[in-house]
Amino acid sequence: MKPINRWQAGLAILMLSGATNWAVATIRLNNTDMDFRIVPFDYQIDPNRIYAELLSSINGSGWQPVHVAGGTESVFKVSENGYFDAGVGVIPNAPDDAQVAFELRAWFGGNSFENAIAWNQETWTQIAGSWDPGSGLPATGPVLLIPYTLVIGVPEPSTLALTIVGGGVLVGFRRLGRGTKHQ
């Protein structure tokens, strides 16, 4: 029998002592707990073709997709009534129980947020949860604290509409100027 070297002994002691913490930061990947739906603004947007993705950022380090625990999926189909439920997500590069910035993105008419026809997004900060994948217990995480219902496809004002409003304001100021006497 070969003797154990120092590296192997150190690793064995570390593993047996339970000093290793394999816990990861987690969050529930659903909008049902807070009952804030993702809804289309326009009746022409098919609610069966809306998708959502949750991103996270730790200390402004850039946005990373939150994946389903034990998987690679990070984009979720939204149901016709405006909800998604993908289980529990693991937050990349975050210590367990960390303060995390989240961004919920939802879109219609594209295979990604970047090339969607209609979209919306919301950001907020909250505390993440903790789960040890090696524990054998199911993944858990805190409720996703989405601030409010996300409406997809809110139209932006066109140049023509802004011109009309601006012209109306200009005419209104000119009329006010004529009605006052300067002393």
Task: List, for residues 134-152, the tens digit of each pLDDT value.
Answer: 888 988 999 999 999 999 9
Q: Are 38 and 50 in contact (CB under 8 A)?
A: yes
Distance CA 65, CA 144 (A): 15
Our CA dihedral for 112, 115, 121, 123, rounded to 10 degrees, sits at 70
Tokens representing 180?
Answer: 């006052």
Q: Residue 13 above 60 pLDDT? A: no
Q: Are 108 and 119 in contact (CB under 8 A)?
A: yes
Distance CA 90, CA 72 (A): 10
Residues in contact with 65: Cβ distance below 8 Å, sequence separation at least 6, in sequence order = 53, 54, 55, 74, 92
Q: How confident is the model at residue 3 (pLDDT cuts 50, 70, 90)?
A: low
Q: How confident is the model at residue 162 (pLDDT cuts 50, 70, 90)?
A: low
